[in-house]
Structure formats: C-alpha cells, structure tokens
C-alpha cells in the first residue's frame, strides 16, 4: 500500500517541478512582451515605464494559459527523470508499488492544477487582460496597438435595406470594434454577388463599417482602390463585440451566457461554446499530459537517453498542439460540434497514455 507520507512527498516534488517550469515560461514571456510594448510605446510620446510594465504584466497570464498544458508535460518529464535518477522509482517498485499507484499523486496534482487553472486562473487572467487593454490606450499610439488573433477568420452576416454582406477578419482590437485584414462580400437584395472588399483595417461606427485602404473587386471590372469604404451594417455595437471579442478577455464563468446571448442575437456563438468546453476539459488534458510524460520519461535511466527523452517530449508536445489546433478549427468552423472538438484531444490523449502504461506494466 502506498503510504500517505510518500504520496505527499511525490505530489510536492511533482508540483514544485511543474510550477518551476511554468514560472520560467511566465518570466520569459513577460520579458518578450515588455520589450514588444516598449518598442510600440517608443514610437509615441509616452514614457511611463511603470504603466508600461503593468501593461505587459497584466497581459502575460492570458498568454501563459495556452502554455499551461506544455508546462505540465515538460515539468512532469523533468520530475519523473529526477525521481528515476534518484532511484526513487526503483525503490518504490521494489517495495511492491505498481506504476499506477506511483503515478496517482502526480495525476491528482495535474487534475488540481487543471481545476484551479479553469475556475480561478482563467477569470483572473481575463480580468487582468481587460485592465491591460485599458492601459494600452494610454501607452501605445493608435497605429501601433496590439491586435488579437482569433485562430482563424471570424465571419458575420449582416443586412441593410439595399444589400446584404458577409464580413470577416482574423484579428481584432478595441474589444472587437476594430478589425485587421478585413474581407467583405457584398450581395444585392436578390442574393446576387455584387463586389468584394479587402481592407487593411476596419472600424465599427453605429450603422457603418469604415474600411481603410480598401480594394474593391466587382465582376467584369478592374479592381479599384478606395481610401475609406463605407459598408452599411445593421449590427449594434454589442453584437459586434460579441462576434469579434477576444476570447482571452472573457472569463470562464461568462462564456455560457455570452454563447446564449449570441445565439439569441443571431450572431455566431460557436466559439464561445468551444472555448467554454476547452476550459472545462483542461483538467483531463493535464491528466493526459502527466500520463504521456510518464510513458516518455520513467524508463530512461542512462545519461545518453536524456537526449532522446527531450526529443520525444518535444515531438509529443508538437503533435498534441497540432491535434488541438485541428480540433479547434473544426469546432469553430461548425464542422463538428464544439463539445466534441474540445473534449476529443483530451480524451484521446488520456486513453493513449493509460493504454501504453498498462501495456508496459503488464510487460
């Protein structure tokens, strides 16, 4: 039987290693973010170093949320390698402790980090990001403010008396009221395609989109450049914000309400529902990271194996990132239901880790 003292020892060692890796990544991202914002602010007249530091510090937690699964993966690998090198694994196995019993404290810590990350860290990160966005208006010149990526274009259909149009953009700023890389398709009242507009930037004003540096392409005509193209819209500012709002600035607890409000307003709500399920499945994903790290690192014991262990860990992390990216694109595009797209990577990774561990244990 695995003693409580030994369980707490392994859990503390594991949590310390994971948090150390996470803090290293946090500080590195903070340094890079501060340098980026310093360069942006340097182009203006603002010289407030403390405010600039707060802008960077408040933005980093939302960035590190995406790095949390990989911090758990690489922190778990490091913890298991250290335990292996100290012969702690050999001693516990010699005492009759199975691999699954040995991994139980680490699995509990992984689940706990996931629950805390979803219910507490995510709301904190979203609140700090909103504060950072407000401070950015004071620090960064208008033309150099950072934009927010949506992991692919976000599209919305709108109608006015004389036409209908579809507007999309992969990036936004000013809480979704400003767009970068805008593409719009305009149709006449009968549904016939009339023209396409490609603009560098666009900004919402009541009743109209102002598309800057636009190229207008219509059938049987030469493309023409327009300094500011006015595209009518029937969307309200609230509907525009719900459509193009950055998901990182929305708390986990607010996502279900925003998804329901978006559906009632007739604007796409899949991305809110998808983000909610991604956060809801995070504890299972972190559990999968612990199991995969155990498969990668527990059996490495010689110094020449460390290089292969690092390569294997990086490869596994890259494959998981690709799988999550594909699942996100499928879910946000409406190809598969958002809950399935969010939970599938976590479930597949967990089943894979358990299957391999049971196979090695039987072997």
Domains along the chain?
4-141+281-362 (no CATH), 153-266 (2.60.450)
pLDDT at 23: 94
pLDDT-based confidence at 285, cuts 50/70/90?
Answer: very high
The runs of H, that is alpha helices, within the chain are 4-42, 49-85, 88-94, 99-116, 122-139, 237-244, 255-265, 270-280, 282-297, 305-332, 338-362
Question: Taking 80 as the threshold, does the pLDDT of residue 306 lie above it?
Answer: no
pLDDT at 284: 94
Please give the Cα distance from 1 to 24 (Å, whole number): 36
Question: What pTM, to 2 d.p., does this model score?
Answer: 0.78
pLDDT at 32: 87
What is the residue whose two structure tokens read 């991994």?
Answer: 103
In this predicted model, which residue has the larger pLDDT, 9 or 333? 9
pLDDT at 357: 78
Mean pLDDT value of segment 26-48 = 73
Mean pLDDT of the chain: 81
In this predicted model, which residue has the larger pLDDT, 230 or 307? 230
pLDDT at 15: 92
Mean pLDDT value of segment 185-189 = 87
How far CA 231 is from CA of 136, 172, 216, 240, 307, in Å, comes to 28, 17, 12, 14, 57
pLDDT at 198: 92
pLDDT at 63: 87
Buried b (16+ CB within 10 A) or exposed e, 55-87: bbbbbbbbbbbebbbbbbbbbbbbbbbebbeee
The per-residue pLDDT for range 124-178, each reduced to its tens digit, is 998 888 887 777 766 665 555 555 555 567 788 887 777 788 898 877 777 778 8
């Amino acid at each position: 039987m695995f003693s409580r003292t030994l369980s707490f020892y392994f859990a503390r060692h594991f949590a310390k290693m994971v948090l150390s890796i996470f803090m290293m990544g946090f500080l590195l991202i903070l340094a890079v973010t501060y340098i980026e914002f310093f360069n942006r602010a340097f182009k203006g007249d603002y010289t407030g170093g403390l405010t600039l530091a707060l802008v960077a510090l408040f933005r980093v937690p939302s960035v590190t949320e995406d790095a949390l699964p990989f911090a758990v993966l690489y922190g778990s690998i490091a913890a298991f390698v250290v335990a292996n090198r100290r012969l702690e694994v050999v001693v516990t196995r010699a005492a009759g402790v199975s691999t699954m019993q040995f991994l139980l404290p680490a699995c509990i810590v992984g689940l706990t980090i996931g629950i805390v990350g979803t219910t507490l860290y995510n709301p904190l990160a979203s609140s700090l990001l909103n504060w950072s966005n407000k401070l950015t208006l004071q620090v960064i010149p208008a033309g150099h403010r950072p934009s927010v990526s949506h992991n692919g274009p976000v599209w919305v259909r709108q109608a006015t008396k004389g036409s209908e149009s579809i507007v999309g953009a992969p990036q936004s700023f000013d809480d979704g009221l400003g767009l970068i890389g805008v593409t719009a398709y305009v149709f006449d009242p009968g549904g016939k395609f009339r023209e396409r507009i490609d603009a560098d930037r666009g900004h919402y004003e009541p009743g109209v989109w102002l598309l800057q540096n636009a190229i207008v392409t219509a059938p049987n005509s030469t493309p023409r450049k327009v300094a500011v193209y006015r595209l009518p819209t029937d969307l309200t500012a609230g509907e525009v914000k719900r459509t193009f709002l950055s998901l990182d600035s929305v708390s986990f607890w607010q996502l279900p309400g925003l998804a329901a409000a978006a559906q009632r307003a007739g604007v796409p709500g899949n991305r809110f529902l998808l983000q909610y399920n991604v956060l809801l499945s995070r504890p299972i994903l972190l559990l999968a990271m612990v199991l995969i790290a155990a498969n990668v690192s527990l059996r490495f014991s010689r110094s020449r194996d460390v290089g292969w262990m690092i390569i294997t860990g990086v490869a596994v992390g890259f494959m998981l990132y690709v799988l999550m990216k594909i699942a996100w694109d499928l879910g946000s595009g409406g190809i598969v239901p958002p809950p399935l797209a969010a939970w599938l990577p976590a479930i597949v990774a967990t089943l894979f880790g358990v299957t391999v561990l049971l196979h090695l244990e039987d072997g």
